[in-house]
Amino acid sequence: MTRDAPEANPLLTSGRLRSNAPKTVAGYARFRKVVEEDGALPASLKRLFVAAAACTKGYEAMARRELAQAATAGLTSEHAAAAMTILSSSRGEGATLRFAEVLSVTYPDDAVIEADEQPVEVEEGDAEGNFIKYFGTVPPSLRLLLDLVPTGADAYYLMREGTLSGTALEPAHAELLLVTVLAADYSNWASVHIDGARKAGATEAQIAEAILCAVPVAGLSAWVIGATAMEAPKGG
């Protein structure tokens, strides 16, 4: 499928900003360079991270622009669609369905597929065992779920496992997409998935680039939150 030439970034081409804030524009151009060029992570993947985070904020035009440029850079529809799975667990229906709309615009030939529901059974103890394997222990919030609403604990286990191990993305890249989304929300939970990314083989430079993918969506504070999470005590 033929794709249009990449659209110029509208913030960088704003005459008002160029006139009133040339240093801001110059700084943002450097952040964009990190996203738009291959580095520790490929540019196509970083643009996907930005698009996913933009969908959590309702920035659909931004998400469309980023995903279109990710596709131009070689991102396949299957890898792009992995963000739907990750957003469904981490940010719920609204962000997921917004991303699905963006996906259908970017990959009109194969974004939507038909499939029957596949029954999945959960044995007693599966959820608790999975939590211990991932977190090193059962976090208090999940212990409460296991004790009070066991079906909810099974649901949490299935969605978390599907998010991190059931997509076309490598596990480390799935974790890093979550890092971008959480940093964009200024969430301290970014540290959990930074730790998960490390365990899956991500380098410190890759983690840093994933955090910087949140800056176009959420500004400089996203880096501060993410960098603080990088320095948090690591899980067991």
User: pLDDT of 80-91, one tens digit each?
Assistant: 999 999 999 999
Q: How many domains does the chain have?
A: 1
Asked if the structure places residue 154 within a domain, the reply is yes
| Mean pLDDT, the chain, whole residue set | 93
Asked if the structure places residue 43 within a domain, the reply is no
Whole-angstrom Cα distance, residue 35 to residue 81?
20
DSSP tag of 136: S
pTM here is: 0.91
- Looking up tokens 């890898």 gives 79
Asked if the structure places residue 175 within a domain, the reply is no
Asked if the structure places residue 71 within a domain, the reply is no
User: pLDDT of 21-69, one tens digit each?
Assistant: 999 999 999 999 999 999 999 999 999 999 999 999 999 999 999 999 9
Distance from chain centroid for Cα 119: 27
Asked if the structure places residue 147 within a domain, the reply is yes
Q: Is 19 exposed, middle or buried (0-12, 13-18, 19+ CB in 10 A)?
A: exposed
Is pLDDT at 103 greater than 80 in this prediction? Answer: yes
Asked if the structure places residue 93 within a domain, the reply is no
Full domain range(s) for residue 152 = 122-161
Whole-angstrom Cα distance, residue 120 to residue 111?
24
pLDDT at residue 114, as a whole number: 81
Asked if the structure places residue 137 within a domain, the reply is yes
127 in helix, strand or coil?
helix
Is pLDDT at 6 greater than 70 in this prediction? Answer: no
User: pLDDT of 145-173, one tens digit each?
Assistant: 999 999 999 999 999 888 888 899 999 99
Asked if the structure places residue 140 within a domain, the reply is yes
Encode 87-126: b = buried (16+ Cβ within 10 Å), e = exposed.
bbbbbeeebbebbbebbeebbeeebeeeeeeeeeeeeeee
